[in-house]
Amino acid sequence: MTESVASTRPFEGLQIPAAGTYELDAAHKRVGFVARHLMVSKVRGQFAEAGATITIAEDPLQSSVTASITTASIETGQVDRDNHLRSGDFFESEKYPTIEFRSTGIKSHAGAEFVLDGELTIKGVTKPVELVVEFEGATTSPYGFGVFGFSAHTEIDREDWGLTWNMALESGGVMVGKKIKIEIEGEAIRQA
């Protein structure tokens, strides 16, 4: 099936996606995070299940995104740690099955970098966040669908969302750092 409209258009020196609704491609995405451990190293993880709807507006600066992440799909490569993260000490996955994000506007842009203001909801707590999004390019897939790629990142203080579990270390400091880096890579496919 082929689209009857162009998949890209010019915008301030970029070839951006045509206006329309795009869905995050489950086969080409990573929703990850980095946390400090024992004050000396980093633990990386990801959520295997996440979805997003991106609406590219006629005026690209009016575009928006909503996303939902399944908390029980957390993976860090260590089963006991993953189970602890799903528990009441952290995400309470049974009570709060998803993390939600909703953009509230594009704050600024320079070249291929766009800064999105949005609201992040974790464990029923909604707080503002700023997401830096790097537009990676747009094309038409071999199947005739418009596709674009992006990467995004932000840093949050997990305690702002009630993720306060920790353990003091004899040597000083804590087991888990408060600052969490969120890293997202993905492709989005045009739906309409």
The segments of the chain whose pLDDT lies below 50 read 1-4
Residue 2 has what DSSP assignment?
-
CA distance 187 to 27: 9
CA distance 153 to 131: 6
pLDDT digits (tens, 9 = 90+) for 26-73: 999 999 999 988 777 899 999 999 999 999 999 999 999 999 999 999
Closest CA to 24 of 147, 182, 121: 147
The predicted pLDDT at position 23 comes to 98
- How many CA within 13 A on the CB side of residue 151? 3
pTM for the predicted model, two decimal places: 0.90
